[in-house]
Amino acid sequence: MPASPKLTDPQRVAIREEVEAVLDRELKWVNLSLKILFGIIVALGIYTYWDLNRKVGRIVTERVDALLKSADSETSVKRTLDQLVNRSVITAYLIAAKRPDTPLVNKAVTLPRRHAREVNLSFDEWTRLRDWIRDEKLGQRDFADALVVLGAQEEVRTRKDAEEILAEMLDPPLRSRHRWMADDSRKRMAILQDFARPGLGAAALEVAAAAKDPRELRIAAMTYIQAVHYKEAFPRLWTMAAKMDDDDLDRQALYTCASLDPLNGEVAEVVDRIVSLPTVNVTDRVVERSIKLATAIWYAPVSDQTPDQLRPKIEEARFDVAKRLLARAFTGERSFVAVLASGVLVVYVNSKYGPYEAFGAQAEEFSQLRPYWSLLEDAAAAGDVNRLGWLAPRSALQEGLHALQVALTDTARFTVARSRTFTASQVPRIVLARSRASERRRDGTLSVIWKDESGDHEDTLTALEGAGFSFSLPREVAPRSN
């Protein structure tokens, strides 16, 4: 049987150009099937003639019959082909933006979403998608996918899209051509979630402050404001944040304000109130608030206009605040860290009703949460094996986890069962691991794994002494370049 002949790149380009030409002239229905065929080739990414015969014949016949029965066949033809071409553009560029080395977004990740990998549309393709998203009849999936592709363009284009189109669609004035968007909260939500580029700050703030809008949409608007660091939103959002209520809108306003201005005096007053609470008054909500405030403050971006000499001081000031909050959250085993199968680390509130997520990040980003790692170092330096065992990440799958890589320097030493003690000069690096039984019990028992000239060893950790313990995630959780 002869090999299935492949369509060459020039052939595929020619097909694409033919479909484009169809949209520029009025077609008669007699050559309809051929033109739809070209559109489907592009849209479905068919590479061989055999694929074409096998996959398309029935689809073309059904589509032709449906269009011929329509009341306005020429308009239907043009609209259908237009949609086929637009979807082919989106599909091609979504594939380019999601290469294998692009991490998938896990629902547990609470850091603001980054914009997609940058791709470059032709001017005609860019213009086509800009026009397409304004179509009131456009489906939700196509609308959201088009936003992802538009958001992956270079900065000049994304700024124009935001300011000329999307801001008005997100918060349409009474006489706007996009007034229909005011009643379409799903598409407005898609703008906030799938177009993570600057330019919509003012419109997002109006949504966040609008009592008439759904709560989920208002929270998404605040998350967008945090993602693009729209600092001008602070005064209006603080009127909500300052209430310190248990309302989810007010709490999100607080976290957003903390990210916009981490060292603001009013934010500092809230932090002081939280960390000074007597332990008996610390509720699950206080623990959650401590975690979310700490991470919002720590991960807040530093302005590009900040002088280089001030950056270390700002980082240290934020480190101190975030560490105080995390220390409050981990007091009395009120929270813990777990590694999910997807390489995401989550800080859970250890509620009496069961644990729930307060913060999550990809392993690479969690490795940068220096206040948390400092708590581990403090526990080790104090010889508090129980606290270290509670702070160390555990496996959400209860399969046992090589929880931590530990480098030993200076006076650091560890002791295992049967009172055997090793110094940094004897064993400069160890792994702290949990057994499956320890994971199931959710206790703090840790094993030590190390290697010396006599081979590999494993035993139960019983004591730590001295300074010079440095902690990090294992490579299988957080891969690092050499």
Q: What is the pLDDT of residues 424-433, one digit of tens each?
A: 999 999 999 8
Considering the domain boundaries, does residue 104 fall inside one?
no
- pTM of the entire structure? 0.78
Q: Which of 97, 132, 162 is the last residue of a domain?
A: 97
Number of domains in the chain: 4
Same domain, 238 and 362: yes
Residue 314 lies in a domain: yes
pLDDT tens profile 389-409: 899 988 876 555 657 899 999
Based on the fold, state whether residues 383 and 335 are members of the same structural domain. Answer: no
Collapsing DSSP to helix, strand or coil, 218 comes out as helix
> Band of the pLDDT at 173, cuts 50, 70, 90?
very high
Quote the CA–CA distance of 16 and 25 in Å, as a whole number. Answer: 15
Same domain, residue pair 237 and 359: yes
Residues 439 and 338 placed together within one structural domain of the fold:
no
Look at residue 16 and tell me if it is in a domain: yes
Do 62 and 135 lie in a common domain?
no
Q: Is residue 107 part of a domain?
A: no
Is residue 428 domain-shared with residue 452, that is, in the same domain?
A: yes
The answer as to whether 342 is a domain residue is yes
Please tell me whether residues 343 and 390 are part of one structural domain.
no
Please choose, from the candidates 285, 281, 363, 273, the residue with its C-alpha nearest in 3D space to the C-alpha of residue 321.
273
Q: Are residues 332 and 404 in the same domain?
A: no
Host domain of residue 186: 115-193+201-221
* Among 181, 126, 178, CA closest to 149: 126
Asked which of 36, 64, 97 is the last residue of a domain, the reply is: 97
Q: What is the pLDDT of residue 101?
A: 40
Identify whether residues 176 and 65 lie together within a single domain: no
Residues 208, 244 within the same domain = no
For 45, 46, 406, the CA distances from 12, given in Å and listed in that order, are 9, 10, 55
Which pLDDT score, from 0 to 100, does residue 69 have? 54
Q: What is the pLDDT, as a whole number, of residue 304?
A: 77
Same domain, 166 and 180: yes
In a domain, 6, yes or no: yes
- Is 323 a member of any domain? yes
Phi (first) and psi of residue 475, to 5 degrees: -65, -35
pLDDT 10s digits, 244-298: 666 899 999 999 999 999 999 999 999 999 999 998 889 999 999 999 999 999 9
d(CA 15, CA 254): 54
